[in-house]
Amino acid sequence: MLLGKKIILGISGSIAAYKSASLTRLLIKAGAEVQVLMTPSAQDFITPLTLSTLSKKAVFTEVSSESAWNNHVELGLWADAMVIAPATATTLAKLANGLCDNILAAAYLSARCPVFFAPAMDLDMWHHPATRSNVSRLQGYGNHLIPVGVGELASGLSGEGRMAEPEAIVAHLEQFFDQSKDLSGKKILLTAGPTYEPIDPVRFIGNRSSGKMGVALADAAARRGAIVTLILGPSKLSPAEQNVQVIRVETAQEMHDAALQAFATADAAILAAAVADYRPKTVATEKIKKKGEELQLDLIKNPDIAAELGQLKKTGQLLIGFALETNDEESNAQGKLERKNFDFIVLNSLRDAGAGFNHDTNKISILFKNNKRRDFELKSKNAVADDILQAMIDLFKYNNS
């Protein structure tokens, strides 16, 4: 799975850097091409010579030296993945804040590939709120945390903070690249973003949905090999993956028409859009002028796209919905799951910090038809997207078994 993969291994200054030698060896053995970058303090723990010998490539320790400029932008584009192991508290703080005073940080800021970081530090440093916040910011940017191990630490303390073992880091990367094609050939329809319901030529009824969750789902599904159609309401965002077919719409009615058409040939639909339930009964052809103290707007119901797709759903097709709730979360979501004939519903509560509109993170629970429920931790929307897709893949497999 790592055969031919180009991997940047960024090493920062922790005693765990001694494990970077065996990590390099394992990556090379798995067929990867490894470019090692070291921070100045990493060299206090392990020498560039050891790592260049193992990686069969010159190690970069500076952005520029007397004789050369090490092009971090090129490096950032070259790599299929960047792994920062060990990632010290200082390096996490720098990366979380965009500080760029060494080759590792420069390559990180230039990297377009997925980035993994394996922290290593003492127990109390790991639990400090500053570190916690840096880690969740990095996850919020879409970077992948390779969880720390628990056990004896170099300080003599015992607890959380040990860098994951090189074998575990390699397994993490293998799993990432392995899952990358598990939706190969599947046609996935997504709705995302808000809808705008016009009142007159300049005004509309809308909502605060950013489209982030739906766009993250579209990108994640495309990375995993799916043929993705994204019906996107007015959102500033676009998917990063090239092979997502984007249909831009504005109103619920337009989203409805596009969704019905695409659903006919889809294997699954994930409805992440925040669709306006009502629209103005008439749309004024000219801008409405300011008149009395009150203005009455008559609203009529929009089509419920989810409910209609639920009616049309054929054996083998999956329909997945979202419920963003502020109160009575579980019973509201359960009601929607049944009414709209979803296979599962993704619940997020606006009461959870870091969940819902506009955040880079989300905290979800998945409710299934058989009253089963899975709760997930607060994660980046990219990581949440992979959890949702994994639940969908498990259901595809279960239905075919």
Active site residues: 207
Tokens of 114: 């997925």
Minimum distance between the CB of residue 309 and ligand C5P, rounded to whole angstroms?
7
Both ends of the chain: CA-CA distance in Å? Answer: 26
CB 114 within 8 A of CB 148: no
Nearer to ligand C5P, 62 or 325 (CB): 325
Query: Alpha-carbon distance 329 to 15, whole Å?
Result: 46
Cα Dmax for the chain: 81
**Cα–Cα distances in Å, from 171 out to 23, 135, 168?**
11, 21, 5
Tokens of 36: 């090692």
Minimum distance between the CB of residue 274 and ligand C5P, rounded to whole angstroms?
7
Nearer to ligand C5P, 80 or 257 (CB): 257
**Cα–Cα distances in Å, from 244 out to 29, 111, 115, 150, 229?**
34, 21, 22, 40, 6
Query: Alpha-carbon distance 144 to 142, whole Å?
Result: 7
Closest CA to 225 of 212, 241, 248: 241
Residue ranges binding ligand C5P (CB under 6 A): 191, 252, 271, 273, 275, 277, 302, 304-306, 321-323, 336, 340
Nearer to ligand C5P, 62 or 308 (CB): 308
Within 8 A by CB and 6+ apart from 77, the residues are: 110, 112
Nearer to ligand C5P, 84 or 262 (CB): 262
Query: Alpha-carbon distance 354 to 372, whole Å?
Result: 24
Minimum distance between the CB of residue 244 and ligand C5P, rounded to whole angstroms?
18
Tokens of 228: 């993705």
Query: Alpha-carbon distance 389 to 379, whole Å?
Result: 15
